[in-house]
């Protein structure tokens, strides 16, 4: 009787398991949910929006803390995923990508849902990016999305009511005593 060959020895199996565990813990492979969305980060509010018929899944940054952290440290942003920044009132916020390795396109959107302008940024870009006019929303997606999908200034975006500024996260002013 011929001796059968083992395809994997126990050491090989252990190394494969360890590598797989490492990749999953680092978040190297976005997890797919049943509806096709990639899970971008833990404990975030995600909304589905549509631009010119293209579905997008966006994290909602609707507090000053979420504005500050933004997409900082992200090395990858799956196609069709991004972040929408929601401001309490129309303003001219400043964005800097110095701690964001992924290249982004940012659409500055007014309170009526119209894209005012689109800025392209490079990963690690230290220049300040600011809209020319006050805006209520900023939508950050992988660089090139708007150009690839012929979305330009003047395009209207319908945003669900779930995308609003979170006033409960405001720090109350200290009372003088």
Domain of 80: which CATH number? 2.60.120.1140
pLDDT band at 167 (very low <50, low <70, confident <90, very high): confident
Give a yes or no: residue 31 inside a domain: no
pLDDT band at 29 (very low <50, low <70, confident <90, very high): very low
Is 16 part of any domain?
Answer: no
Q: What's the rounded Cα separation, in Å, for the pair 68 and 86? A: 12
Average pLDDT over residues 83-87: 96
> Three-state DSSP class for 15?
helix
Is residue 21, in this structure, part of any structural domain at all?
no
Domain carrying residue 57 = 39-167
Q: What is the value of pTM for the model shown?
A: 0.72
Residue 123 lies in a domain: yes
- Asked, for residue 134, whether it belongs to a domain, the answer is yes
Instruction: Tell me the pLDDT tens digit for each residue of 103-114.
Output: 999 999 999 999
Domain count, the chain: 1
Catalogue the E-assigned strands of the chain.
31-32, 38-39, 46-51, 54-61, 81-91, 104-109, 115-121, 135-142
């Amino acid at each position: 009787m011929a001796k059968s060959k083992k395809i994997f020895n126990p050491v090989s199996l252990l190394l494969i398991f360890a590598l797989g565990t490492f990749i999953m813990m680092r978040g190297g492979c976005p997890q797919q949910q049943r509806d096709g969305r990639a899970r971008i980060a833990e404990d975030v509010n995600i909304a589905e929006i549509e631009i010119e018929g293209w579905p997008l899944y966006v994290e909602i940054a609707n507090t000053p803390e979420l504005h500050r952290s933004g997409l900082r440290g992200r090395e990858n942003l799956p196609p069709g995923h991004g972040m929408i920044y929601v401001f309490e009132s129309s303003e001219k916020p400043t964005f800097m990508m110095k701690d964001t390795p992924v290249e982004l396109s940012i659409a500055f959107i007014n309170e009526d849902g119209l894209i005012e302008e689109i800025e392209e940024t490079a990963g690690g870009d230290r220049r300040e990016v600011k809209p020319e006019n006050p805006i209520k929303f900023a939508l950050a997606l992988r660089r090139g999305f708007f150009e690839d999908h012929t979305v330009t200034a003047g395009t209207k975006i319908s945003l669900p009511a779930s995308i609003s500024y979170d006033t409960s996260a405001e720090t109350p002013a200290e009372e003088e005593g």
